Structure 1
Amino acid sequence: MDKKEEKSSFTFEKVYEQNKRRIHYHIHRMNIRDPHNDFFQEGLFALWNAYEKYETNKGPMSTYFNYIIEKRLIDKIRKDTRTLHNDLEVVAESKLEWDTGNRVRRTDLAYPLLEREEPAITDVKFWKSIKENLTEKQWKWVYYFIILDMPVKEIAKRENTSEEAVKSWGKQARKKLRVKLPFK
């Protein structure tokens, strides 16, 4: 009896009925939660492939089925883990991009603003007149804090001084600006 005649003596339906518990066994043994039967489907596909490729002279069918099902389930775990990892990276990247604050938000849509190296100072005379009325340190506060929108902590680090000193520069600059440039 050759290979084709032997396979035709038992159909895949019979093989399935005899071996469906084998798939459940491997899922249980690997502690896989399978609420949507994805892993069972993968095991069933592995069983069918093993049934199609099985050669009787290579060894017992049950051993071959166990080997193929187990390896296929492990491959699915690896694939799902890789997909989850990639999805989490995309979500983290999107969240970071969204949280940068560099957006114009209208309803649910967000449009990125163009980033610039230096801020656009449109009224040069205005800023020059402000700079003339301030000390060097007060101007640094105006330039970094107001124009570049840097936090006090970063300004202090950049200027190699304390945060309190930077706050003091800001306080003095605001006093001078209120007297020289009444905005009310």
Structure 2
Amino acid sequence: MGEDSVTFEEIFKQNERRIHYHIHKLNIRDPHQEFYSEGLVAMWNAYEKYQPDKGPMATYFNFIIRNRMIDMIRKRQKEQETVTKYKAEHKTVAEDGNYYRYNDRAALVLNVAESASTLENEAFWQDVRSQLSENQWKWVRFFIIEDMSVKDIAAQEGVSAEAVKSWGKEVRRKLRGTEGRDRRPPLPGG
């Protein structure tokens, strides 16, 4: 502003209510005072750029403050739309195809071709299963074959994570012997 006789502090004291007026008029909830801060910055910018020959200062302040708040509302709406769109796409991916659900998560069910490559040596897995209890086999199936976390297995089976870990310890103990090492499945492509 060209006139140094009136400071911004004085202008602010006289016009602070304009910020509150526009917040109220636009039905903005402002618990963190973000819109108030934006209005304050808008008032400062208007004070700096005001040209007395263009019209009254009050009208200019109203115009700048209101439009800055509307811009901020539009920006927030666009961000919210982006988040909503992302969530919808993620939900579509999670619910599309062959999935089974556990603990609010979806896990891909392997199709026959993928299952065949994962369980390439069916005899090996049948032999491993014959050495294990039902819970130990669940640990092998879910943790090793399907790559589920201990936490997810526990939630799916309705037991504690410690119980699932103990199943894994027993599996390792049982299969640690020399017989278990000799029965490893062949490596893919080998």
Distance 1:18 1:38 in 2: 21
Deviation for aligned residue 1:97: 2.1
| Alignment-derived partner of residue 81 in structure 1 | 77
Instruction: Encode CA deviations 1:122-149: one digit per residue, 9 max, x unaligned.
Output: 5xxxxxxxxxxxxxxxxxxxxxxxxxxx
Q: How does 1:88-127 map to 2 (within 5 A)?
A: 88-100=84-96, 119-120=112-113
Distance 1:67 1:23 in 2: 11
Scaled by the length of structure 1, what TM-score is found? Answer: 0.53
Query: Alignment partner of 1:9: what SS?
Result: coil
| Alignment-derived partner of residue 26 in structure 1 | 22
Deviation for aligned residue 1:104: 9.7
Distance 1:57 1:72 in 2: 23
Scaled by the length of structure 2, what TM-score is found? Answer: 0.51
Query: Alignment partner of 1:19: what SS?
Result: helix
Say what the alpha-carbon RMSD is for the aligned residues.
Answer: 2.9
Structure 2 alignment gaps of length 5 or more: 117-190
Structure 1 alignment gaps of length 5 or more: 123-184
Distance 1:81 1:107 in 2: 31
| Alignment-derived partner of residue 57 in structure 2 | 61
Instruction: Encode CA deviations 1:19-76: one digit per residue, 9 max, x unaligned.
Output: 1110000111111111111111111111111011001111110010001111111111
- The share of aligned pairs that are identical, in percent, is 51
- Which structure has the larger Rg? 1
Structure of greater relative contact order (alpha carbons < 8 Å, 6+ residues apart): 2
Letter of the 1:17 counterpart: K
Q: Is 2:30–2:36's contact at 8 Å kept on the other side of the alignment?
A: yes
Equivalent residue pairs, number: 115
